[in-house]
Amino acid sequence: MNKITYPNINCDNLFSTCLLSVNNDNQDYKNRLGNIAENISTQWRCFDDRITPKSLHEFLPCLPRRVDQIIDGEVTKKDLKNLYTVYMLKINSEARKVYDKLRASSKGGLCPLCGIYGVETLDHYLPKARYPLFSVHPRNLIPACEHCNGAKSDNILKVASDQTLYPYNDDIKFYSTDWIKASITAQYGILVFDFHAAPPLQWLEVERKRVINHFTIFELRQKYVRNSSQFVSTITADIRRMLLDGDYIAVKNHYAGLVTAVKFNSTLRAMYHALSINDDICSGRF
């Protein structure tokens, strides 16, 4: 996971900017959406006010599936979803420039939700299918890989602990404390790593539940296991080589030293830590 900086974007204008992409022969659509601009602005301010106390779960979701459901005035859920999929994504439009700026806001281009794959799209923190008033709210749009975007689906937030990590400005401790741990087994002489969420016991229960929820929803266990496999042959060769010149203590110290060289909660950091405390593996007994 990576914390990212929210780009310098004027939120209030984006709704109107998206409407600029609508062709003149669709004036009815433009008018109907224009009529709810004031309420959109109010709802977006409310969203921004709920980011820091982490109370985004207090928004009521609309009904599932029914795309013709009226959300406000004469505007349907489908109208608001189209504002994103048709008009914000329109190539060469002003709204598309904002989309591209948000997508580029993750340093190094890594998905801030998993920290493994590259950013390919924007994920709606509150899914547009259930919270359509925020379909083009920039603060609701998180750069993400296709894997994380697809894994999240249209989950609604019922309680505070349902809120996954919010990379733009969540508590720094989620990104500067190790809460993803690895375990190792040897299967037919091959090292196999597994991963789990283990947030510190001193964190508030809601914080512990939030990171576990993040780990589960974005399928981080599966992603980390897949990612770890590329490092196994190098680690195995390194252990065998180090044991030719020293004992298992030297191997453990080697991995303990590597832990601090990589970022918190990364696949490698969890792997190095698990190695540094495993006498059997560091003794070459696998």
For Zn ion, which is the closer residue by CB, 210 or 252? 210
Distance (Å, whole) CA 283 – CA 267: 22
Closest approach of Zn ion to the CB of residue 211, in Å? 15
Tokens representing 163 are 């809120």
Binding positions for Zn ion, 77-116, rule CB under 5 A: 111, 113-114
Q: How far is the CB of 207 from Zn ion (least distance, A)?
A: 21
**Span from 61-69, 146-154, 165-173, 251-259 in contact with Zn ion (CB under 5 A):** 146-154
Angle, vertex CA 84, rays to CA 110 and CA 86, nearest 5: 115
Q: Is 191 in the site for Zn ion (CB under 5 A)?
A: no
The radius of gyration computed from the CA coordinates of the chain, to the nearest angstrom, equals 23
Report residue 109 as tokens.
């281009």
Identity of the residue, 82 or 163, whose beta carbon is nearer to Zn ion in the bound complex: 163
Single out the segment in contact with Zn ion by CB under 5 A; choices: 26-34, 42-50, 117-125, 131-139: 117-125
Of 51, 148, 157, 184, the residue at the interface with Zn ion (CB under 5 A) is: 148
Q: Which is nearer to Zn ion, 64 or 150 (CB)?
A: 150
Q: How far is the CB of 229 from Zn ion (least distance, A)?
A: 17
In whole angstroms, the minimum distance from the beta carbon of 202 to Zn ion comes to 28
Q: State the sign of the Cα–Cα–Cα–Cα dihedral 16, 18, 21, 27.
A: negative
Cβ nearer to Zn ion, comparing 219 with 238? 219
Give the Cα separation of 143 and 113 in Å (integer). 8
Q: Which is nearer to Zn ion, 117 or 203 (CB)?
A: 117
d(CA 38, CA 242): 67
How many Cβ atoms are within 10 Å of 248's Cβ, its own excluded?
A: 18
Q: How many residues bind Zn ion (CB under 5 A)?
A: 6
The amino acid that residue 115 corresponds to is G
Q: In angstroms, rounded to a whole number, what is the distance separating the alpha carbons of residues 170 and 191?
A: 35
Instruction: Select from 145, 239, 251, 281 the one that contacts Zn ion (CB under 5 A).
Output: 145
Backbone angles phi, psi at 79, to 5 degrees: -55, -45
Angle subtended at Cα 121 by Cα 87 and Cα 177, rounded to the nearest 5 degrees:
135
CB-nearer residue toward Zn ion: 116 or 281: 116
Number of Cβ within 10 Å of residue 162's Cβ equals 16
Q: Give me the least distance between CB of 138 and Zn ion, in Å please.
A: 19
Q: State which residue, 72 or 219, has the beta carbon closest to Zn ion.
A: 219
The residues of the shown chain that bind Zn ion, judged by CB under 5 A, are: 111, 113-114, 117, 145, 148
